[in-house]
Amino acid sequence: MKTKDLAAALVGVVALTATIGRAADPLPSWNDGPAKQSILTFVEKVTKAGSPDFVPAPERIATFDNDGTLWCEKPLPVQLFFALDRVKELAPKHPEWKTQEPLASILKGDLKGAMAGGERAILELFLATHAGMTTDEFEKIVRDWTATAKHPKYKEAFTACVYQPMLELLAFLRANGFKNFIVSGGGIEFMRPWAEKVYGIPPEQVVGSSITTQFEIRDGKPVLIRLPELNFNDDKGGKPVGINQHIGRRPICAFGNSDGDLQMLQYTGAGSGARFCLYVHHDDVEREYAYDRKDPLAKLDQGLDEAVAKGWTVVSMKNDWKRIFAFGAK
C-alpha cells in the first residue's frame, strides 16, 4: 500500500470511528450495520445545531410499542399470563365462571379452547380479572405479581426479559433530549407500576389500552374504581388516536414489531421534517422466537411490506443484535 492510499484509508477509518464511536459506543449491544447506522444518522441530524433537519428538544417525541418491541411477548403476551394467574386466584369467589367462556375453558386448562373466541374472549378475560377494585389496589396487585412471576422459558422475571439493545436505544434517545413514550395495546395500568424502573419511562409517558374508571368517595376516602368496561383500545388505528390524546404532538420517531403498530408508524412517518420508523423483526429462533406474517396474535405482514416500500429500518434480531435480553447484563 502506498503512503497516499494508507493516508486515505486512515481518514476513512477515522471518519467511521467518529460516526459510530463518539467516545463510547451508545449502542454496544447492536452490531455495526445499516440498522444501527440508521439510528445514529437520524439522531445526529435532528440534534446537531445548524443541521437542516434540526428538531428542538421539546418536539423530539419518540413512541415505542411494548409487547415484542421492548419486551418478550412469546409464548404469550405477559399480560395474558397475569390474567390467567388472576383467574386461578379469583376462581373460588366466582363459581359462575365454571360455565362462562372463556373462563370455563381456562379453568379446565384448555387455553386453546379459551382463545378460540378471539379478541372478544381476551377482552372478557381482561374485564373479569382487571376490574372491581380501586386503581391503588390494582397497582399493588400488578407490583406483587411482577415481583414473583417468571417467564416459562427463561426462568427470569418478565421485567428482566426486556431487550438490552432497546434499553440502550431508550437511554441514547433520552441522552439526546428525546422524550420516550410507550404506546402499547397492553393495559396502561398494567405497565405503569414497573415501566419507570425498567425503562426509565415515567407513568405520564405511558399510553395504553384502558378500562373505564369512576370517581367515588368510599368510607370518606376519594378513590377511583375500575369498572368491567373497555374505555380505550390502544391498538392499530387507536395508536395515533392515543398519541394525539395523550401527547398532542406527532412523534418524530416510532418503534414497533407488528401490524398493530403500522398506523403509528404511518402517522409518525407522514409528519413534515426528518422522521424515523423502525420495526423489530423476530427472526431469531435460537435466542428468542421467530414469527412474522402468520402469527395469530402479533402478525407482521403488511407492515413488513410497507417498511420495505418506505425505507423504514427493519431490525433483524438475529443479525443486528449482539445480545437479546437484559437479564444477565453486567
In the complex, the smallest distance separating the C-beta of residue 237 from a second copy, rounded to whole angstroms, is 4
Interface pick for a second copy out of 210, 257, 258, 313 (rule CB under 8 A): 210
110 or 136: CB nearest a second copy: 136
- Interface mask (CB under 8 A) for a second copy, residues 13-52, using x and -? ----------------------------------------
In sequence order, which ranges of the chain are alpha helices (DSSP H)? 3-16, 34-47, 78-90, 103-107, 111-115, 118-130, 135-148, 164-175, 188-199, 238-246, 262-269, 302-310, 317-320
CA–CA separation, 240 and 232 (whole Å): 12
Cβ at position 144, least distance to a second copy in Å: 18
Residues whose CB falls within 8 Å of the CB of residue 291, separated by 6 or more in sequence, listed in order: 74, 282, 298, 300
- Write out the H or E segment, with its range, that includes residue 185: strand 179-187
Stretch that binds a second copy, among 40-48, 112-120, 150-158, 239-247 (CB under 8 A): 239-247
54: phi then psi, degrees, rounded to nearest 5? -55, 135
Tell me the β-bridge partners of 283. 290
- Nearest distance from residue 18's CB to a second copy, in Å? 33
| All cell numbers assigned to 108 | 379446565
Is position 4 an interface residue for a second copy (rule: CB under 8 A)? no
What's the min distance (Å) between Cβ of 301 and a second copy? 17
For residue 30, the SS3 value is: strand
- Using CB under 8 A, which of the segments 8-16, 100-108, 203-211, 279-287 binds a second copy? 203-211
Q: Mention every residue, 6+ apart, whose C-beta is less than 8 A from residue 47.
A: 54, 55, 60, 176, 177
Q: From residue 70, give the alpha-carbon distance in Å to each of 35, 62, 241, 305.
A: 16, 13, 21, 22
Judged by CB, which is closer to a second copy: 9, or 270?
Answer: 270
Taking the complex as a whole, how short is the minimal distance between the CB of residue 159 and a second copy, in angstroms? 17
Is 185 one of the binding residues for a second copy (CB under 8 A)? no
Indicate which single residue of 28, 34, 202, 311 sits in contact with a second copy (rule: CB under 8 A): 202
**What DSSP character marks residue 330?**
-
Per the CB < 8 A criterion, the answer to whether 258 and 298 are in contact is yes
Is position 237 an interface residue for a second copy (rule: CB under 8 A)? yes
Q: Count other C-beta atoms under 10 Å from residue 63's C-beta.
A: 30
Using CB under 8 A, pick the residue from 21, 33, 118, 203 that binds a second copy.
203
67 part of the interface to a second copy, by CB under 8 A = no
Closest CA to 113 of 105, 103, 101, 121: 105
CB 119 within 8 A of CB 77: no
Q: Is 240 in the site for a second copy (CB under 8 A)?
A: yes
> What is the per-residue binding string for a second copy in 262-281, x denoting contact by CB under 8 A?
-x--xx--x-----------
Q: Least distance from C-beta 216 to a second copy, angstroms? A: 8
- Based on CB atoms, which residue is closest to a second copy, 37 or 233? 233
Closest distance to a second copy from the beta carbon of 115 (Å): 27
Among 5, 222, 294, 330, binds a second copy (CB under 8 A): 222
Binding window for a second copy (CB under 8 A); candidates: 30-38, 84-92, 143-151, 200-208? 200-208
Cα-Cα-Cα-Cα torsion 273, 209, 261, 253, nearest 10 degrees, comes to: 30
Residues interacting with a second copy, by CB under 8 A? 58, 61, 135, 179, 188-189, 192, 196, 202-206, 210, 213-215, 217, 221-222, 224, 231, 237-241, 244-249, 263, 266-267, 270
